[in-house]
Structure formats: structure tokens, C-alpha cells
């Protein structure tokens, strides 16, 4: 069993939003299988010019996206969106526990943070992040030495899919909070329905 704690996520503008997501979802879809992919237009998306948080604190108005895209062995995942054990910032952190039991037989599991909820590219949504320059996951392991197969932003396909994606992994966590960047030193793409993705694999 592995636990990922303190998984705050934020994007930064060059120089220095707003409905809170639901921490749980009643629908846990399987892996996205649509093969049609198109670059997403940002013309209908709200443009973001200030600090953009995926998760800042439990119930925070500045939170964006919802952890609704459960994939693989989704029965092996638990999310606590109000963990209070030494959060990196604020009062709470996200705590994701992965048991790697292979409940659905996939031997991996992942969660996409989506907008709107359960959006696999079939409907409009997302945010125009063209003014953002860097994405940061602040993460640590409960015990240290936990391995996250992939940290990712974007990658949802379909008629209203993401314009691009960036990922990094595998990443071995320590007990201290670390800054993790899916595209170190690079500029992030701009149109996102899939905000972030975390993937774990059973050994």
C-alpha cells in the first residue's frame, strides 16, 4: 500500500478561478478509448491570468477541476481531500492511498482531474492556461520510497480534447515535500479539460 500526501497542484503566471470540485464521484469510468483527437480551441474557455490552483485547500473557492476520471484498478484507490497531517500549505492536503491489489485486473490505477466532471473530451469545458509558464505538484510519501508511475497534465482526446500533454515519471517520493514538474523548465500547453493525472502501478 502506498500513500501520496500533500499533493497540492498549481500553475504559475510569468511574473509572479472558481468552483470547488467534488472530492468524490459516483461514476468511475474506465480507460478512455476514443481515438479521434483534435486540438482544443481556447476561444470558449475562461482565460486564466493569475495563480491557478487545482487544489489549494479542502473546499477552497480557488480549486479547479474534479477527480472524476478513475481508471484501471479504481477499486484500489482512496482519496481524502481533507488530510490534516502536516500539509505543505494551508490547513489540509490531498491524501491518495493506492493498495495495488489489482481489484479490476489492470495492475495499475489512475485518476484524471477533469472539467466538467467526467468529461472525457465529449463536451466543452476546461481552462485557457496560455498565460501560465509552470505546473508544480507538491508531493510527499507517507513512508518515503513510494513510486508514482506518472504525473501528467492534459492528454484527454476526443472532439473537445486537450491541445497537448506533458508528463514525468516514474517518480520516487520521499517523506519531505518535493516540487514535481511534468515538463521541467518548459512552457505548458494551453487548453485543458483534463487538469492533472496521477498513475500508480502494482509491482
Q: Is the pLDDT of residue 186 over 70?
A: no
Whether residue 19 has pLDDT greater than 60? no
Q: Which of 31-45, 67-81, 137-151 has the lowest mean pLDDT?
A: 31-45
Per-domain boundaries in the chain: 2-19+40-201
Report the mean per-residue pLDDT for the chain. 77
Give the pLDDT score at 46.
67
pLDDT tens digits, one per residue of 66-124: 999 999 999 999 999 999 998 988 999 999 999 999 999 999 999 999 999 999 999 99
pLDDT(37) > 60? no
Annotate the chain with three-state secondary structure.
CEEEEEEEEEEECCCCCCCCCCCCCCCCCCCCCCCCECCCCCCCCCECCCCEEEECCCCCCCCCCEEEEEEECHHHEEEEEEECCCCCCCCCEEEEEECCCCCCCCCEEEEEEECCCCCCCCCCCCEECCCCCEEEEEEEECCCCCEECEEEEECCCECCCCCCEEEECCEECCCCCEEECCCCCCCCCCEECEEEEEEEECC
pLDDT in the model for residue 129? 83
What mean pLDDT do residues 7-13 have? 51
Quick one: pLDDT at residue 97? 94
pLDDT: which is higher, 176 or 51: 176
Amino acid at each position: 500500500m502506498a500513500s501520496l500526501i500533500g499533493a497540492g497542484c498549481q500553475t504559475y503566471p510569468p511574473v509572479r478561478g472558481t468552483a470547488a470540485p467534488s472530492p468524490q464521484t459516483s461514476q468511475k469510468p474506465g480507460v478512455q478509448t476514443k481515438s479521434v483527437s483534435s486540438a482544443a480551441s481556447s476561444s470558449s474557455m475562461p482565460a486564466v491570468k493569475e495563480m491557478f490552483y487545482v487544489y489549494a485547500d479542502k473546499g477552497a473557492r480557488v480549486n479547479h477541476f474534479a477527480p472524476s476520471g478513475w481508471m484501471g484498478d479504481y477499486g484500489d484507490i482512496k482519496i481524502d481531500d481533507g488530510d490534516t497531517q502536516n500539509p505543505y500549505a494551508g490547513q489540509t492536503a490531498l491524501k491518495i492511498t493506492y493498495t495495488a491489489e489489482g481489484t479490476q485486473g489492470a495492475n495499475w490505477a489512475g485518476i484524471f482531474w477533469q472539467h466538467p466532471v467526467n468529461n472525457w473530451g465529449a463536451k466543452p469545458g476546461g481552462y485557457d492556461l496560455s498565460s501560465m509558464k509552470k505546473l508544480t505538484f507538491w508531493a510527499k510519501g507517507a513512508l518515503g520510497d513510494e513510486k508514482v508511475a506518472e504525473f501528467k497534465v492534459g492528454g484527454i482526446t476526443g472532439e473537445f480534447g486537450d491541445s497537448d500533454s506533458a508528463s514525468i515519471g516514474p517518480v520516487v517520493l520521499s517523506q519531505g515535500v518535493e516540487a514535481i514538474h511534468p515538463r521541467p523548465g518548459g512552457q505548458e500547453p494551453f487548453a485543458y479539460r483534463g487538469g492533472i493525472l496521477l498513475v500508480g502501478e502494482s509491482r
